[in-house]
Amino acid sequence: MEEKIRLVFPTKEYQKQIEEYLEEFFKNGEYKLHGAGGLDRIKDVDEWLKKVNDDLSEKKITDHRVPATLFLAIRNSDNRLIGTIQIRHRLNEKLLFDSGHIGDSVRPTERRKGYATEMIRMALEECRKMGIKQVLITCNSDNIGSEKSIINNGGILENIVVDEDGNKIKRYWITLSKGE
C-alpha cells in the first residue's frame, strides 16, 4: 500500500468529498457501488448520512435489512476519501447467499494500490470487536483485484454461486481468532 489510511464514520464534514467520490464512479461508467450504504441510489448526502446512522440500529432499519456500520477510508497524508467499507452485523438469507458481512469500494483513481486489502484488514478488526467470528466476503468471479484483497486477508473460497442477475459470485470465509 502506498500510504496509510484510517477508517472514519461518515459525517457532514466529508460531504464535498463524498459527492466527488460518487461523481468519480459515475464518470467512470460505474453506477453500482459496493459497501457504500446505498450512496449510488440516494445521492443526496444529507439523506444518505441519515440512512447510514439509522443502519446502526436494529429498530430503524427497514425492508428485511440488517444493522450495518459504514466507514470512509481516508488517506492520512492528504485527508482524501479513498473508499467506503460496510460491515453488516449479521447475515440474512440474501446476504448469506451472495453478499456477505463486508462490502467495499475503492475510487477508480486509487485502485491497484493496496487500499482494498488494508480496508478489509481494518474492517476485520472491527468485526472482531463486534464478536463476529466467521466473516463472509464475496466478489464477482471476474473481479481479480477484489479476490486478491480477500485472499490476502485469509479468505478461503467456499464456492461460487450465481445471483439473480446471472453474475457468478465467489464466496470466501475468513475465521477470526481471538488472539489476532
CA separation for the pair 70, 118 (Å, rounded): 15
Residue 134 · residue 102 · CB < 8 Å:
no
Residue 180 has pLDDT above 50, yes or no: no
What confidence category does residue 7 fall into, taking pLDDT thresholds of 50, 70 and 90? very high
What confidence category does residue 58 fall into, taking pLDDT thresholds of 50, 70 and 90? confident
- Beta-carbon contacts of 168 under 8 Å, excluding residues fewer than 6 positions away, are 140, 141, 142, 160, 161, 162
pLDDT at 43: 86
Listing DSSP states for 36-51 in one string gives: STTHHHH--HHHHHHH
Assigned C-alpha cell, 7: 477508517
